[in-house]
Structure 1
Amino acid sequence: MAFPRSPDSSMSSYASTLTLSSCPSSYISIGSSNPSSFTAVAIIPTGAGDHSPALAATGAPEFIQGNKLQQHQDPPESEPKFPKQEINGWEHPDLCSPSKQLKNVTTSIKEISRWARSSPGVKVNSNIRLLESVFSLIQVVTSTAPHPDHIVDMIRVHDALANLLLVLPKNIFPFLVQDFAQIVDELGPKRGASLSARFEKTLHDLRRSIRSGLQVLNVKIFDYTSEVVPQGGGIHEITKYLLKYILSLLDNGRSLKIILVGDEQDGMVEMETLQDAVATLISHLEIMLEKESHRYQDAGLKQMFMVNNVNFVLHQVEGSEIKYLLGEDWVLKHRNQLKDHISSFINISWESVMYCFHVKTNKISIFSSLPTLQIFNLEFEKTYWTQKTWKVENPLLRSNMRKSVSEKLVQAYSTYLENHKNKAPKLMKYTPEDLEELLSDLFEG
């Protein structure tokens, strides 16, 4: 799956570049339960112009895909699934289901870490070859244009590598310690120093690619345009996508906080905090939603769209740790924004109906010669049947909006009937109770 990509987007895609999808999972394979039987593989070119990786035979038995090591296994992860609908040619990714190749990269690193902790006698050369294969696959990702689709996956790879670095010096790679005299004959100091430098470069490239990917995501959200908007003013797919994306980032928040700190090689001390990164993404989403709302010709439907989307963002923020990143001031500000959008929706959408009880204006001039109640009946029915097709997806919000409309309209209607007792019964089509019952069906979609 790929991040939603508009047809005219100039962003490069993994589909046109060397990607991990061209690297079968068997290219990173691990031996069975015997730590000395780790299978080492390498990526080597198969010919001029051929970017497909090929196995370098090592003579070691390959791990049979599908089998599991019987010890030190991680518990299975339960992860949310992202929507897979297309929007104008853009597909939503399943961020929490990493590609098989990146899964294997992370799994391989974790396996090395396990044996490093539990088996000091692991053969050095075998694990070095395996780690070199991991580096090669990571380079495939970091050498292409940064893309949001792989941010979460790369954070996990970075986390696994960083954890591996904590256990390597005492076990598998003693060259990372100053005193490596005992293995000089087996490794050679040059190879040890080279691999150590490559380890650091891989971590640096991952951090840089992750930061760049977040910047690309910001641009994509800010510049997003679509000729199709949600029917009935519903929640935009990009709104749902981005909030789930942010929650996936926060699942890896401890690592991301470290990654967002720039390296000295980048010429910066710090790029931004995790709070800044999340706030910027949501801010760009809000700008995009405001632009998309203008695609609705009906002013009331425009406000309905904003009500649904602002409420969704607010609900997701308040129900997660995003709230603690953005703070109470942000939450209070957006609660007030939601109230303003609801008030604007009611005033705009039911304006022509309410005007019947005040003064006949050009807003309803076509009916100006009719009695007030007849005008009301016509305007009410037109507005009611239109808004029955509009949808408020959150049940609590839907109930509150119905109540707000009902209180305002039924009160004005009842007051008019009370003030015109002599004429009203002849033209009255609805009782106040009838209106309340009808309005209780609004916004079902």
Structure 2
Amino acid sequence: MQRLLEQLDVAWVAHACRDIRSSGQLQHLTATWLRALAEILHTYSYFRQQQHTDTGGHFFCVMHRRYWQDGSGTPNQLNFTRFAGAAISRLLPFVDALVAQPPTATVDDADDRALPAQRLQALIQVRGALIRIRDIAVQLPSSAAEVASVHDELLRLLTAKLAKLDEAVWDTMEEVRARVISTTTEDDSNDGSSGVHRMTRSVLSYIDLLETDYGLLHRIVYQASKLRKCAPPGIGNNIGTLASLKLEMVSCLEEKLNEESRSFPNESLRYLFLLNNLHFVKQQFRPMSDMKFHMPVLDSKIDDYMQRYLQVSWAPVLSCFHSPAPLCLGRYSPLPKFESEFHKAHSTQKLWKVPDPELRRRLRKAVIDKLTPSLTEYLQDDSLVTSQGIITLTPQELEEMLQELFEG
């Protein structure tokens, strides 16, 4: 059996998994463990379906070969079932180690804040692997009493481990959620950039992780809401338990983004920052069927931020057409001031970043639709300016320049 574990690269399972201190280490150990269990599962499933172990000497995997080379007894279903059960049992200490890892455990790298989320992903993956083994044992019962006894013992063991995993999944979900909620903008500064904040990406990565096994997590959150009375608000208002959890996370995120936006010295940049982040949330929510009810709310907020951005950024430029202007050709003309204010805003905002192409196109169009009609109307009304050929910025040139905005 030890040689089998070595060949499957999981001989470490009894000792190396006791102190998992980084997300990288956890990711590597989990992937190795899952590969080993998958091979055992493949062999176990094959022989459960065949009801015997005679495959004509065709060793299709490491476990099958090791079973024969170890001389584990007469090649029959009972002996192989015992062998497979022992192999599975030897891997289960990893489950205990994963469950026992305290969510708040310190890590070697102070910046390795991915560990709790990585642990949650590992718990979900490990649970899925154990479920597959349990299902094979349940769906392919044996008529032999001794074989059935081995299966029953394996089922009892798996059921106990699955219960512990469910508990650990909820605890880790709570830990990740608490970390996000308690994170301050100072902990994860965005350095004054208008782009998508690291905190936004972190929250949405966690929410996306909840989609990996929606049925499992929905059930766990629902049970927690009934037994512990600690599920997020909104449950019972025609909102699913997991959807309510997501909504709470996003609401908390929005509060923190608003707090962060107040540190921007430029109001235009502030609203562009909020637009970028809320649009990112909307994009991530699109494939999630349980969040469709929230999309109109996000659309309304995005529209509001866009109108505020247009007002603080470009309304002052348009106001030049309605304020006293300097003399031009012996008469007052707002064009010099308009062009000066426009170039000032343009030179600044073309350096700002809107990473999403869809939002970038939408913003450019909104700015063009706001400025171009006013300039066109003024030029049509002021025949003297047109006839004298003193126009230095035509509507077409203005539109071309506005297409340069938000490239970063």
2:251 corresponds in structure 1 to 283
Among 391, 402, 408, the residue aligned to 2:370 = 408
1:440 aligned partner: 403
Distance 1:104 1:39 in 2: 7
Structure 1 residue 385 and structure 2 residue 353: aligned? no
Say which of 95, 100, 118 aligns to 1:143: 100
Equivalence for 2:238 = none
In the other structure, the counterpart of 1:243 is 204
CA contact (8 A) 1:110 1:160 kept: yes
8 Å Cα contact 1:398-1:443 kept in structure 2 = yes
Name the residue aligned to 2:314. Answer: 350
Contact 2:30/2:122 (<8 A) preserved: yes
2:320/2:337 contact within 8 Å kept: yes
1:366-413 per-position Cα deviation (integer Å, ceiling 9, x unaligned)? xxxx96322222211111100010122222322221122112112222
Distance 1:39 1:125 in 2: 19
The answer to whether 1:309 aligns with 2:294 is no
Distance 2:285 2:93 in 1: 38
- Provide the rounded CA distance (Å) in 2 between the counterparts of 1:315 and 1:138: 35
> Against the structure 1 CA distance between its residues 164 and 28, is the aligned structure 2 distance closer, same or farther, given a 3 Å change threshold?
farther
Query: Does the Cα contact within 8 Å between 2:27 and 2:118 map onto a contact in 1?
Result: no
TM-score normalised according to structure 1 size: 0.66
2:78–2:147: 8 Å Cα contact kept in structure 1? no
User: For residues 51 and 277 of structure 1, do their structure 2 counterparts lie closer, same or farther at Cα, with a shift above 3 Å needed?
Assistant: closer
2:384 aligned partner, one-letter code? N
Cα distance between partner residues in 2 of 1:132 and 1:212: 25
2:204 touches 2:284 (CA, 8 Å); kept in 1? yes
Q: Which residue of 2 aligns with 1:331?
A: 295
| Identity %, equivalent residues | 22
Q: Out of 260, 270, 280, which is 1:292 matched to?
A: 260
Give, in whole Å, the separation in 2 of the partners of 1:372 and 1:27.
87
Q: Say which structure is richer in helix.
A: 2
Aligned-residue offset at 1:157: 0.7
Q: 1:426 to 1:123 in 2, by over 3 A?
A: closer
Match runs of 1:37-436 below 5 Å: 43=14, 99-119=27-47, 120-123=77-80, 126-146=83-103, 147-168=116-137, 192=153, 198-227=157-186, 228-229=189-190, 232-262=193-223, 267-268=227-228, 273-318=241-286, 320=287, 322=288, 324-327=289-292, 329-359=293-323, 372-422=334-384, 425=388, 428-436=391-399
Change in 2 beyond 3 A, CA 1:110/1:277 = farther
SS at 1:350's partner residue? Answer: helix
1:196, CA displacement in angstroms? 6.1
Q: 1:418 to 1:138 in 2, by over 3 A?
A: same
Greater shift, 206-215 or 281-290, is seen at 281-290
Alpha-carbon shift at residue 349 of structure 1 (Å) = 0.8
Task: Give the distance between the partners of 2:148 and 2:268, measured in 1 at CA.
Answer: 77
Change (3 A) 1:122 1:347: farther
The alpha carbon displacement at 1:110 in A equals: 3.1
How many residues are aligned here? Answer: 349
Structure 1 residue 348: deviation in Å?
0.7
Q: Which runs of 5+ in 2 are unaligned?
A: 48-76, 104-115, 233-240, 326-331
Output one character per residue of 1:95-136: Cα deviation in whole Å (capped at 9) or x when no partner. xx9712112333343334333322234445544443333332
* Mapped contact 2:120–2:172 kept (Cα < 8 A): yes
Q: Which residue identity is paired with 2:379?
A: L
Q: Structure 2 vs 1, CA of residues 440 and 51 (structure 1 numbering), >3 Å: closer, same or farther?
A: closer
Compared with structure 1, are the counterparts of its residues 356 and 150 closer, same or farther at alpha carbon in structure 2 (3 Å cutoff)? same
- Please say if residues 44 and 81 of structure 2, whose CA atoms lie closer than 8 Å, have aligned partners that are also in contact: no
Using the TM superposition, give the Cα deviation of residue 154 of structure 1 relative to its aligned residue in structure 2, in angstroms.
0.9
Normalization by structure 2: what TM-score? Answer: 0.71
CA distance in structure 1 between the partners assigned to 2:2 and 2:398 by the alignment? 68
Contact 2:170 2:220 in 1 (8 A): yes
The 1:29/1:382 distance shift into structure 2, 3 A limit, reads farther
Q: Which amino acid aligns with 1:340?
A: D
* TM-fit CA distance, 1:27: 8.7
Which amino acid in the other structure matches residue 204 of structure 1? A
